[in-house]
Chains A and B, each alone.
Chain A
Amino acid sequence: MLQVENLTKHYPARGRGLFTRDPRRVRAVDGVSFEVKAGEVVAVVGESGCGKSTLGRLAIRLLEPTSGSIRLGGTDITSLKGEALREIRLTAQIVFQDPFGSLNPRMTVGASIAYPLRVNRLFGRADGAAIARRVDELLERVGLNAAHARRLPHELSGGQRQRVGIARAIAVNPKLLVLDEPVAALDLSAQARVLNLFKELQREMGMAYLFITHDLSVAEYMADRILVMYAGKLVETGGRLALFQAPRHPYTQALFSAAMLRSGRASEETILEGDPPSPIDPLPGCRFNTRCPHAGEVCRAAEPAMSALDDGHGAACHLLTGKLRRSG
C-alpha cells in the first residue's frame, strides 16, 4: 500500500539573523524506510518533536520530501505536483489532531464533510441531493446523525468534531488513513469511543492506518506493527507483540518500560534522563548516545544501521551488531 524508502525532510532552521539566513537545517525526518501493507495498522510512536507528524504528512505528500521515495498503491508519488498530486487524495486521507482547528469555523458540518466529494467531483456538479444523502450516511457511520449536518463546528463537542473530521476523511473511501494523534486532544471516555470507531471502520472498510501517537497504550490497542522514532530516525520496528515483549533498542526499552510497569509486565522503570538531541545538525554517531545507558565509543563515532532480527523485527543499535557490549 505504502512504501517509503530513505525518506528525508529538512527544514531551514528557524533561528535567523537580521540579514543572514541560518544555513543550518532541522532534520525533522532523516533517512526513514518502512512499509504499510493494505489493511494494516502501523503505529508511529516517539517523543514530541521526533518528526512523527512530518513523517505522516510526507507519506501522503502534504509536504514535499527533501529526498527519498514514496510509493502509494504501486505508484511513485515522491514528486507529483498539481492535478496528479490531487488525485492521490482519493487514495490517502488524513485525520488531524486538533478537532477545533481542523474544521473551517464558517462551514457547516455538512459542508465540511461534502467538501472532499465536491472538490473531487465525485458527484455531478448539480447533484446536491446525492451529496446530502452521502453526507447523512457518513454522519451516521461515525456515530452522529443527519441533524448535525446543519451545525457549525463551535456547536459540537471535541469528540463530535473529531468524528466530523473522520467522516470527511473517509468520504472518498480512501485505502490509507494517516491519523496524526487523532485522540490526543480528547478526554479519556471520548478517546475510547473514537478508538473503537477507528477499529470498526478499519474492519469494515479494510483501510490501512498510519497511526501516529505518543501514547503507547493507544499503539498497543490499535497497531499490528509499531515504528519507534527518535530524533528523526527510526530506531526500532516490529510487530506489536515483539515490541512490547522483547524491545531491543535501549530507547524502546526505556520508552516501553513505563507502560509495561503500569500494566505489571516490568519490574522497574528505566528513566530517560536529559532531552532528545537538537534535530539541528545533530552530532555524528547514534542519535541516542547522549541518553543511552550503554553508550560507548562506537556510538559517538558511527551511526548504527537497522539490524534485522527475527520476523520483521529490526532495531538500529550497535549492541545488536556486536560492536558494543552491554554495560551493567
Chain B
Amino acid sequence: MAVTPEIAPVERPVWRPWALMTRHKSIAAGSAIVLLVVLMALLAPVLSPYDPNEVHPLDRLKPIGSPGYLLGADQQGRDMLTRLMWGARSSLAIAVLPLSISAIIGLALGAIAGYLGRLSETLIMRGMDVVFGLPPILLAIAVSATLGPGLVNLMLSLTIVLIPPMTRVTYQVVVGLKEQAFVEAARAAGASSFQIIFSQILPNSLAPTIAYAASLAGAMVVFGAGISFIGLGIQPPDPDWGRMINDGREVLDLKPHVSTLPGLAIFVLAAGFNFLGDGVRDLLDPRMRQ
C-alpha cells in the first residue's frame, strides 16, 4: 500500500501578549486596572506621602485637594491617599490567595470525587453539601468570628468558603471528562486511576476551574471588604478599604469622602478583576469560545 503522509503547514499557537490584549479588550482593560492597583500596593512604602497610621489631629477630615492631603484626611487626620495605597495590599491578597488555594484543593477533591466515584464521591460531595449548605456570607462570618479577626484568618475563612464551589465546578467537569473516549483509551492503555487523573483528567479540567476562579476575583474583593467592614476582618488601625468605609460611616453626611473613596477603590478593583476574569474565562473555557 502506498502511503502518502499529508502534512499541511499549521500555524502553532504562539504566546503574543499584545495580540491577546488587542483581541480581548476586556483582558486589556482588566489587566491595566489590576496592574495599576498592584503597582500602587507595591510602591506604597516609596510613594505614599506619610506613614499609613500617622495621625495629624489638627488636619482631621481635611477635604479632597487640601494642601498636603491630595485626597483629604480622615477623622484622625490620616492621609487618605496613603491609606488607600496601603489598603490595596489586603484587597489584592484577599482577591488572589484564597481563590488560588481553594482552586488547588477543589481541583484535587473534585478530580478524586468525579473520577474515582463510589465512596470518595459520596464522602466528598455529600460532605460539601452538608457542611457548606449555609449561604457563603453566613459561613464566612461564622468562620471569621470563630477564628478571630486579622488578615490571615480572613483569608483562611474565605478559602474555606470557596472550597465547595471550586470542588463542585471541577467535579462537574471531571464527570463529563470521564465519559470521553480518550479517558477510556488511557484505561485501555493500562494506566492506573492515579495516572489517569494526573495525565488526562487534571490537564483538561484546569482551564474551566481557573476560568471559574478568575471570574470570582472581583466578587472576592467586595466580599472581603464586607467582612472587614463589619469588623471581623482587618482590624484598626491597619489600613483596609472595607475597614475605611466603616471608619467614615459616622461622618458620611458631612464628609462623604472618607467612606466614598475606599468604596470607589473597591468598585474599580472589583471591576478590573471582573473584566480580567471574564476575558480569561472566554479564553480558557471552550464552551464560551466562538
Contact = CB atoms under 8 A, between A and B. Distances in A.
B189 A115 contact: yes
Given A60-B188, A104-B200, A157-B6, A119 B195 contact: yes
Contacts of B200: 104
* Top 9 A-B pairs, shortest CB-CB distance: A89-B190, A143-B3, A101-B181, A116-B189, A102-B181, A119-B191, A104-B182, A196-B1, A155-B10
B191 A115 contact: yes
Given A101-B181, A115-B199, A200 B1 contact: yes
Interface in A70-99: 86-87, 89-90, 93-94, 96, 98
A7 interface: no
Contact of B185 (A96, A151, A155): A96
B190 A86 contact: yes
Which among A93, A104, A165, A172 has the greatest number of chain B C-beta atoms within 10 A?
A: A104
B203 to A, nearest CB: 5
Interface string B165-199: 00000000000000011101111111110010001
A119 B189 contact: yes
Interface in B66-83: none
Given A105-B204, A197-B1, A94 B6 contact: no
Interface of A: 60, 62, 86-87, 89-90, 93-94, 96, 98, 101-107, 115-116, 119-120, 143-145, 147-148, 151, 155, 157, 160, 165, 168, 172, 193, 196-197, 200
Contacts of A196: 1
A147 B182 CA distance: 22
Interface of B: 1, 3, 5-8, 10, 180-182, 184-192, 195, 199-200, 203-204
7 contacts: A86-B190, A101-B182, A102-B182, A103-B182, A106-B204, A116-B189, A160-B6
Contacts of A165: 185
A234 B188 CA distance: 25
B188 A62 contact: yes
B10 to A, nearest CB: 5
A104 B190 contact: no
B190 A98 contact: no
Nearest to A103: B182
A42 to B, nearest CB: 19
Contacts of B188: 60, 62, 89, 93-94
Given A104-B204, A115-B199, A120 B3 contact: no
A90 B5 contact: no
A60 B190 CA distance: 11
A196 B1 CA distance: 7
Given A104-B200, A200-B1, A151 B184 contact: no
Given A96-B184, A115-B189, A119-B191, A151 B5 contact: no
Contacts of A94: 185, 188
A147 B10 CA distance: 12
Contacts of B1: 143, 193, 196-197, 200
Given A107-B203, A168-B185, A200-B1, 4 more contacts: A103-B185, A104-B199, A116-B189, A120-B190
Contacts of B5: 143-145, 148
Contacts of A145: 5, 7
Nearest to B185: A102
